[in-house]
Structure 1
């Protein structure tokens, strides 16, 4: 009996690694096909028409705001219908003395708006009838329109507790300040 330690393929058969592997492991059964991994979700549809309409509306709003915007030398003046015109004239001449003052110099628009709201609420709560708000003339800004002056004008016109306001006389700040008459506390 002869012992062979290693069985070699017949010399005429080519060595096929895959065939040798299949012979070595024996019969196999195929696994069922697995599901494909979930696909990446598609991006949501962008409402481009709505975004364009919104952008156009904002542009139109900005145009409307800047069309009525005050310039550096413009004087502020406003009175409610219930306030006599003579009262506004007296306010322009500085015949009312300001009991409190707020200086908005070096504030950005957001800070100035918050400070102005708080200041007017405080004045109203303490029964103050006339205040001076210094907004500056807006000569140092990048814009043609003074930002703080226009902000003060818009805010004062929309407050129910403001009866009238006018740019201060030259000796009290001129077009860089505004005198404001407030309604009495109820």
Structure 2
């Protein structure tokens, strides 16, 4: 074999390698193109599903910082409840403080009899009520004290305290009736109170006039 023939024979393996490389490169390009098309489809899956999408126009917005809520003064409230509870005595003698009429009404010094008459006639509209039915003494005392305190702080003028007629008590005696009168007399927010009219609870309730209303 001549020298020239051997040279061509040596080039054939090289040509086959080059052809294989070109085929491999073409396959790699096709693989990458297919992967890119798939990625684009996945990126636009929502648009391809629902149709063309028009982006919303960007609007200028101001983000306001939401203020954090104020901490609840739980300890102070607990202390206030304790003071309210301790301040009311069951032993105070109020006989000399009550007006001796058919209902043993009460009026603080400086409050005229006419104010009591108006209160008895329903001159002031009832704005809130506390029902003490079913409460034991200490629970009733705390509830009533807090009710009067909160009502006065809210600016209420006339409220009703229901203590019951004692029909469900031992001996059918109104256990809370006398105590509620004692407690009310000791509350500075109370200007006067009278027994409720029959339509408002009668002997089982008191109508109470609070400060700033005379």
Please state which band the TM-score falls in when normalised by the shorter chain.
Answer: 0.5 to 0.7
Once the two structures are TM-superposed, the CA of residue 93 in structure 1 deviates from its matched residue by: 1.9
The answer to whether 1:184 aligns with 2:209 is no
| From 102, 106, 120, the counterpart of 2:130 | 102
Structure of greater relative contact order (alpha carbons < 8 Å, 6+ residues apart): 1
| From 138, 158, 163, the counterpart of 1:135 | 163
Alignment of 1:64-79 (within 5 A): 75-79=103-107
Distance in 1, Cα, partners of 2:104 & 2:128: 19
Q: Deviations over 1:81-120 (max 9, x none)?
A: 2111011011112222111110111111111001001101
SS in 2 for 1:96: coil
4+ residue segments displaced more than 6 Å: none
Distance in 1, Cα, partners of 2:134 & 2:172: 17
- Any stretches of 5+ residues in structure 1 without a counterpart? 1-60, 69-73
| Higher helix residue share | 2
Between the two proteins, the alignment pairs up a number of residues equal to 118
Distance in 1, Cα, partners of 2:194 & 2:161: 10
Q: Deviations over 1:112-170 (max 9, x none)?
A: 00100110111011111110011111122115642211111000111111100001111
1:120 maps to 148
TM-score w.r.t. the length of structure 1 is 0.57
- Any stretches of 5+ residues in structure 2 without a counterpart? 1-89, 97-101
2:194 maps to 166
TM-score w.r.t. the length of structure 2 is 0.50
**C-alpha RMSD over aligned residues:** 2.6
